[in-house]
């Protein structure tokens, strides 16, 4: 099947983009993807692992390598069955290859994030030609949501990649692209990987979206064809062994994993992640920045062509994809920002094609010059918003950064926003083309440079790295450090040791209840147990957050502050007759 607007077939490569030799349409070479990807990977080490998610999903594969148990995930020495192990396995392998550091911890998630960009390229090229594919890939790669979350060691971007890959294979099969049932089998295979990445959602999304698309398209006779014995066998061949082995090792796994962590998490607010129905609307708008505002300019300047841009089959498929995911999580009782990661792929295809048409219309010979005034207001608004965000840390009442110390970190990103205001328009007027390419390059530079001030601002209180550095310097080797009223997984990961925690069991409670009494009492203490242990041992080293410092000072009058950064404190406590 020939892709519309292209002179090549993409039948033979269902996922990876084909780099065509169509220099007249758009000169693109593999090196363009490779260079951008290398720049993208180089940013993985800028920020220490953030708490709690990145540190958690790094500590678990680290424990797998240490214990040799790759079946039952463990966190702080406790059984942790909330999520399947695919991302843990991949990160554990990365640790073995590159050592335990930020780069290896984030590598698998980053590869999946880049895989999403390649998928969007392939889909855009299939629907509207290579140029649209490239525009769509550029939009996704430099959208705020994907750029930030695509460099974090969390499970949602890998889930988005495997769900999207499954959907693309399912669409290709029922659209008649390629011969036989290979695409349908790949649909089941990628669904299995999606399940192993984050659970049942990896099965629900591909099946429900594909079936709903066929139903709305009135292809009811195709609905039973989704069921494939060979595909089902492939699914269980990939996902089944872990389910059997983990259930054998943990008899309560099936109830905990499928009932408590899936159905109850979705239907109830017991996990403390309840948000209003409209929660994801601002997430979607902010996540699509800056392109959602640039889109207003493009729509205004080529609105006469918009109605005929998209075919019905493509539109229904992409809208069902984005709409189902968005509504599914909007009605859920549990909401977190990363959940809607799969929405941004179809959104990028829509926006990429509109930008491509906009550039074609406004860049053709005899086209009117670049507009100004009202149509440029969205671009101006985007730059103003981003610049304002850069200045926010200087005006925060708590943890604010004086402008004299902050401006060197934000000078380059601010310059990129200033250039976005006028440079794309100058390029367009002089060359009658190039607005999008210039805006993309400046946006990429802005987001890349934003990693450095963001790390500078978040590092003191969003990561455990400053605290672990103080522990290694101030606490004698071999002495335990108690986490008082908090649980930073990064302390264990960076310090390569297991730290006891006081009154902050939280998500670890199911695993803590399975521990032998002696181990449980040593590593998971109540406040009363902690006081008793201090009296018994005479002295302790304790780490805590600033919000608990007053309480601890009242309970333990004899204490010495070894280090603090106004957010985390490291104390030396003394008990006994003259202490606690």
- The mean pLDDT of 43-60, rounded to a whole number, is 95
Per-residue model confidence (pLDDT) at position 13: 36
Dihedrals φ, ψ of 402, to 5°?
A: -55, 140
Residue 553 has pLDDT above 90, yes or no: no
In order of 282, 340, 408, 418, 420, the CA distances from 382 in angstroms are 15, 22, 22, 11, 9
Residue 11 has pLDDT above 80, yes or no: no
Per-residue model confidence (pLDDT) at position 271: 53
DSSP-derived secondary structure letter, 255: I
Q: Please tell me whether residue 78 adopts helix, strand or coil conformation.
A: strand
Report the distance separating Cα 387 and Cα 385, nearest Å: 5
Query: Which comes out higher in pLDDT, residue 44 or 305?
Result: 44
Residue 15 has pLDDT above 80, yes or no: no
406-433: burial string, b at 16+ Cβ within 10 Å, e else: beebbeebbebbebbbebbbebbeeebb
**Model pTM?**
0.91
Residue 343 has pLDDT above 70, yes or no: yes
Residue 558 has pLDDT above 90, yes or no: no
**Confidence at 256, pLDDT banded by 50, 70, 90:** confident
pLDDT tens string 283-328: 999 999 999 988 888 887 776 566 667 888 899 999 999 999 999 9
Q: Token pair 């990145």 is at which residue?
A: 54
Residues 10, 126 contacting (CB under 8 angstroms)? yes
Residues 544, 486 contacting (CB under 8 angstroms)? yes
**Confidence at 2, pLDDT banded by 50, 70, 90:** very low
User: In the chain, pLDDT over 90 holds for what percent of residues?
Assistant: 64
pLDDT tens string 431-466: 777 888 899 999 999 999 999 999 999 999 999 999
Residue 180 has pLDDT above 90, yes or no: no
**Confidence at 8, pLDDT banded by 50, 70, 90:** very low
Residue 26 has pLDDT above 50, yes or no: no
pLDDT tens string 474-501: 999 989 999 999 999 999 999 999 999 9
CB neighbours of residue 242 within 10 Å: 17
**Confidence at 333, pLDDT banded by 50, 70, 90:** confident
Domains of the chain by residue range: 30-46+81-355, 369-458, 465-574
Burial class (CB in 10 A: 0-12, 13-18, 19+), 340: buried
DSSP-derived secondary structure letter, 84: -
Per-residue model confidence (pLDDT) at position 273: 60
The per-residue DSSP string of 10-66 comes to -TT-SSSPP----TTT----HHHHHHHHHHHHHGGGSSPPBTTHHHHHHHHHHHHHH
Residues 52, 489 contacting (CB under 8 angstroms)? yes
Query: Which comes out higher in pLDDT, residue 297 or 92?
Result: 92
3-class SS letters over 381-426 = HHHHHHHHHHHHHHCCCCCCCCHHHHHHHHHHHHHHHHHHHHHHHH
Residues 233, 239 contacting (CB under 8 angstroms)? no
Per-residue model confidence (pLDDT) at position 422: 86
The alpha carbon of 306 is separated from its chain's Cα centroid by a whole number of angstroms, namely: 31
Number of residues assigned to the chain: 580
Q: Please tell me whether residue 344 adopts helix, strand or coil conformation.
A: helix
Per-residue model confidence (pLDDT) at position 563: 96
């Amino acid at each position: 099947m020939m892709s519309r607007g292209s002179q090549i077939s993409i039948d033979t490569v269902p996922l990876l983009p084909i780099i065509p030799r169509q220099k007249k349409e758009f000169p693109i070479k593999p090196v363009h993807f490779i260079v951008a990807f290398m720049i993208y990977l180089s940013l993985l080490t800028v920020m220490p692992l953030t708490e709690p998610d990145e540190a958690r999903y790094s500590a678990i594969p680290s424990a797998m390598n240490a214990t040799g148990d790759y079946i039952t995930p463990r966190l702080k020495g406790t059984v942790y069955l909330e999520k399947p192990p695919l991302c843990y396995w991949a990160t554990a392998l990365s640790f073995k290859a590159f050592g335990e550091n930020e780069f290896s911890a984030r590598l698998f998630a980053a590869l999946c994030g880049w895989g999403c960009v390649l998928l969007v390229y392939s889909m855009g090229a299939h629907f509207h030609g290579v140029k649209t594919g490239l525009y769509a890939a550029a939009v996704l790669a430099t959208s705020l949501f994907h750029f930030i979350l695509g460099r974090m060691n969390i499970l949602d971007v890998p889930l988005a990649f495997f769900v999207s890959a499954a959907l693309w294979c399912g669409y290709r099969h029922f659209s008649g692209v390629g011969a036989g049932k290979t695409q349908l089998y790949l649909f089941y295979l990628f669904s299995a990987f999606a399940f192993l990445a984050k659970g049942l959602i990896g099965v629900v999304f591909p099946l429900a979206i594909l079936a709903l698309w066929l139903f709305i398209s009135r292809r009811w006779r195709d609905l039973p064809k989704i069921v494939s014995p060979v595909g089902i066998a492939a699914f269980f061949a990939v996902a089944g062994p872990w389910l059997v082995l983990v259930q054998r090792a943990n008899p309560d796994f099936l109830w905990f994993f499928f009932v408590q962590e899936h159905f109850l998490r979705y239907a109830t607010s017991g996990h403390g992640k309840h948000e209003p129905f409209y929660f994801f609307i601002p997430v979607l708008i902010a996540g699509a920045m800056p392109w959602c505002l640039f889109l207003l300019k493009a729509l205004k300047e080529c609105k006469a062509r918009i109605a005929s841009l998209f075919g019905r089959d493509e539109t229904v498929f992409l809208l069902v994809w984005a709409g189902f995911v968005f509504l599914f999580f909007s009605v859920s009782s549990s909401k977190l920002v990363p959940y809607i990661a799969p929405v941004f792929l179809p959104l990028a295809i829509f926006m990429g094609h509109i930008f491509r048409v906009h550039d074609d219309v406004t860049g053709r010979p005899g086209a009117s010059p670049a507009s100004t005034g009202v149509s440029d207001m969205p671009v101006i608004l985007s730059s103003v918003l981003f610049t304002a965000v850069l200045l926010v840390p200087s005006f925060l009442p708590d943890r604010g950064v004086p402008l004299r110390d902050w401006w060197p970190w934000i000078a380059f990103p601010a310059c990129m926003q200033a250039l976005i205001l006028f440079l794309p328009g100058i390029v367009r007027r002089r060359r009658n083309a190039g607005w999008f390419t210039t805006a993309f390059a400046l946006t990429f530079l802005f987001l890349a440079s934003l990693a450095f001030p963001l790390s500078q601002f978040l590092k003191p209180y969003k990561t455990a790295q400053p605290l672990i550095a103080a522990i290694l310097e101030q606490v004698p080797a071999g002495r335990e450090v108690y986490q008082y009223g908090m649980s930073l997984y990064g302390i264990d990961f960076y310090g390569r040791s297991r730290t006891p925690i006081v009154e902050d069991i939280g998500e670890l409670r199911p695993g803590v209840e399975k521990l032998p009494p002696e181990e449980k009492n040593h590593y998971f203490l109540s406040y009363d147990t902690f006081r008793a242990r201090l009296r018994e041992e005479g002295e302790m080293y304790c780490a805590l957050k600033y919000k608990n410092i007053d309480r601890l000072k009242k309970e333990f009058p004899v204490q010495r502050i070894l280090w603090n950064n106004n957010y985390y404190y490291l104390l030396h406590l003394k008990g006994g007759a003259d202490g606690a």
